[in-house]
Chain A
Amino acid sequence: MNNKPIDRRDFLKELGMASALFAATPWLSVFSESKQTNNEKCRLGIIGPGSRGRLHMSFLAQNPKAEMAAICDIYQPSIDEALKIAPKAKVYRDYRQLLDDKSIDAVLIVTPLNTHYQIFIDACEAGKQVFCEKTIGFTMDECLAMYNKHKEVNNIFFTGQQRLFDPRYIKTMEMVHQGVFGEIAAIQTFWNRNNDWRRPVPSPELERHINWRLYKEYSKGLMTELACHQLQIGTWALNKMPETVMGTGAITFWKDGREVYDNVHTIYTFDDGKQMTFSSVISNKFYGLEEQILGNKGTVEPEKGKYYFENVDPAPGFLQLINEWENSLFEKIPFAGTSWAPETANVNNGEYITGERPKVDGTSLLLDAFVEAVITHKQPARVVEEGYYAAILSLLGHEAIERGEILTFPDKYKLNYMNHKAITNTENV
């Protein structure tokens, strides 16, 4: 993957945008150009230009419609680095002062997880459009309150679920929903890496502020920082939300004072018994990260950008004949090893989902979409709900691990979305 943004025209062309695809992924309508916006700009404030924040800034710097007018951080090295990307940005130390700046149209919240909620609520009340990194809230109650606040003030609200704008995933879901891979029985997601997930700390008192992902006060670790992306893929593929979740977690390798697990496994079960798993081990990277969508006719691995059908064409008859001769000859000679004869089954190398090796993820397009939505004042459908449910599922999984119980999706957090009906929250879509 690289930091070069994909041109949105190329993106739409690549997807071969058909009306059926727009119906399945209505949030892409943000690029439909119903309103000419080429001469318009939106002024953005970036709250928390750390590593992720600066990645967003590097994409925004290439969008002529985005003007990074302000940044806010309490850590000087982050400010210094951010100013290299946006030298004209006004610097704030307190996000509330940034929110008071009436010339700022929208803010990106890219701060530690435990701070999202208050910044989001304050931003909504200040009349700002908001892009909030995932997981949107630190607790399920916070997520629901954020969702309701967005509905109340009717602002633009995007979450950091970039796979919604990734051509590989959009194509994958189109094929999955068309039944190309048959009936989907299970989705296996995992995110493995082999590093301690730490950032360098210049002085000990900054440890918790910089490595906030490792401490319970700030984050819920692998479930909120990684699972959030992958669980959303499962519900998108199955077009429904799971009913129950169970899980387990432990610190098994990185016993370095961290408080969050370095090894988690969770199982989400749907009403028809289908299952989605998420696991993460950060002391082995062999299998990397993937979301494996398992159908009775085929498998998709969108991270690799590939799909594989269950039944591949057999090897040509002639090769099978040669192979049979070879086997019958060498079976009688116990010392014979692997020979020149070809295998009888073709190796299943799969096919690229978009016809080529993946080049970019959806982050640049997600940010372009946010900028476009801010300018047009049109909130694309389902973006918030996808971010909300991704957060709730991650947090519910974390709670199941903590309590050691099988948890049922709580009614109070249900929206009128997919197979869910809101019970207590009448303000929902």
Chain B
Amino acid sequence: MKDIIITGKRIKIELFTLLACFIIAEALNVYSIIKYGTKFSEIFTTLGYIAIFTVALYVAWTIIRLCFYGIQYLIKNRKKNN
């Protein structure tokens, strides 16, 4: 069986991606608090929802990236065969 090597760089990229997703989710939270005039304590009390949304964003971004790398791989393969 082939070993899969996850480099330190990849881990760092993924962690930064996850952090970016969290920041986006929390920014949306602040926006919605202002928009709907709800309590600012929701920044903390809705952390559960924010965590779920963060994971959803991360999964969505990962799917987009996989599609992008998949297409890139196919294009490279075609060029190589030609």
- A contact set with B: CB distance below 8 Å: 314, 316-322
Instruction: Name the B residues within 8 Å of A316 (CB-CB).
Output: 32, 38, 42, 45-46, 49
**Residues of B31-67 whose CB lies within 8 A of A:** 31-38, 42, 45-46, 49-50, 53
**B35 in contact with A321 (CB, 8 Å):** yes
Residues 3-40 of B, flagged 1 when their CB comes within 8 A of A and 0 if not, give 00000000000000000000000001101111111100
Instruction: Name the B residues within 8 Å of A314 (CB-CB).
Output: 36, 38
Q: How far is the CA of A322 from the CA of B53 in the complex (A)?
A: 10
Of chain B, the residue at the smallest CB distance from A321 is B32
Q: How far is the CA of A152 from the CA of B65 in the complex (A)?
A: 94
Q: How far is the CA of A282 from the CA of B49 in the complex (A)?
A: 47
Q: How far is the CA of A317 from the CA of B49 in the complex (A)?
A: 11
**B46 in contact with A318 (CB, 8 Å):** yes
Instruction: Name the A residues within 8 Å of B42 (CB-CB).
Output: 316-318
Q: How far is the CA of A317 from the CA of B33 in the complex (A)?
A: 5
Q: How far is the CA of A318 from the CA of B32 in the complex (A)?
A: 5
Which of A314, A316, A318, A319 is the most central at the interface, judged by chain B CB atoms within 10 Å of its CB?
A: A318
Instruction: Name the A residues within 8 Å of B35 (CB-CB).
Output: 317, 321
In the assembled complex, the CB of B23 is this many whole angstroms from the nearest CB of chain A, namely 14
Q: How far is the CA of A314 from the CA of B38 in the complex (A)?
A: 8
Of chain B, the residue at the smallest CB distance from A344 is B36
A-B contact pairs, 25 of them (CB 8 A): A314-B38, A316-B38, A316-B42, A316-B45, A317-B29, A317-B32, A317-B34, A317-B35, A317-B36, A317-B38, A317-B42, A318-B28, A318-B29, A318-B32, A318-B42, A318-B49, A318-B50, A318-B53, A319-B46, A319-B49, A320-B32, A320-B36, A320-B38, A321-B36, A322-B53
Of chain A, the residue at the smallest CB distance from B38 is A317
Instruction: Name the A residues within 8 Å of B50 (CB-CB).
Output: 318
Q: How far is the CA of A316 from the CA of B45 in the complex (A)?
A: 9
Q: How far is the CA of A318 from the CA of B34 in the complex (A)?
A: 10
Q: How far is the CA of A383 from the CA of B68 in the complex (A)?
A: 81
In the assembled complex, the CB of B56 is this many whole angstroms from the nearest CB of chain A, namely 10
Given contacts A318-B42, A318-B50, 18 further A-B contacts (CB under 8 A): A314-B38, A316-B32, A316-B42, A316-B46, A317-B29, A317-B32, A317-B34, A317-B35, A317-B36, A317-B38, A318-B32, A318-B33, A318-B49, A319-B49, A320-B32, A320-B36, A321-B32, A321-B35
Given the known interface contacts A314-B36, A316-B42, the answer about A321 and B49 at a Cβ–Cβ threshold of 8 Å is no
In the assembled complex, the CB of B18 is this many whole angstroms from the nearest CB of chain A, namely 19
Of chain A, the residue at the smallest CB distance from B36 is A317
Instruction: Name the A residues within 8 Å of B46 (CB-CB).
Output: 316, 318-319
Instruction: Name the B residues within 8 Å of A320 (CB-CB).
Output: 32, 36, 38
Q: How far is the CA of A317 from the CA of B50 in the complex (A)?
A: 12
Of chain B, the residue at the smallest CB distance from A319 is B49
Instruction: Name the A residues within 8 Å of B53 (CB-CB).
Output: 318, 322
In the assembled complex, the CB of A27 is this many whole angstroms from the nearest CB of chain B, namely 44
Given the known interface contacts A316-B45, A316-B49, the answer about A321 and B31 at a Cβ–Cβ threshold of 8 Å is yes
In the assembled complex, the CB of A343 is this many whole angstroms from the nearest CB of chain B, namely 14
Instruction: Name the B residues within 8 Å of A318 (CB-CB).
Output: 28-29, 32-33, 42, 46, 49-50, 53
**B28 in contact with A321 (CB, 8 Å):** yes
Q: How far is the CA of A20 from the CA of B37 in the complex (A)?
A: 39
Q: How far is the CA of A322 from the CA of B56 in the complex (A)?
A: 13
Q: How far is the CA of A318 from the CA of B33 in the complex (A)?
A: 7
Instruction: Name the A residues within 8 Å of B32 (CB-CB).
Output: 316-318, 320-321
Q: How far is the CA of A316 from the CA of B32 in the complex (A)?
A: 9
Q: How far is the CA of A317 from the CA of B31 in the complex (A)?
A: 9
Q: How far is the CA of A316 from the CA of B46 in the complex (A)?
A: 7
Complex A-B, nearest 4 residue pairs according to Cβ-Cβ distance, in ascending order: A317-B32, A321-B32, A317-B38, A317-B36
Which of B35, B38, B45, B50 is the most central at the interface, judged by chain A CB atoms within 10 Å of its CB?
A: B38
Instruction: Name the B residues within 8 Å of A319 (CB-CB).
Output: 46, 49
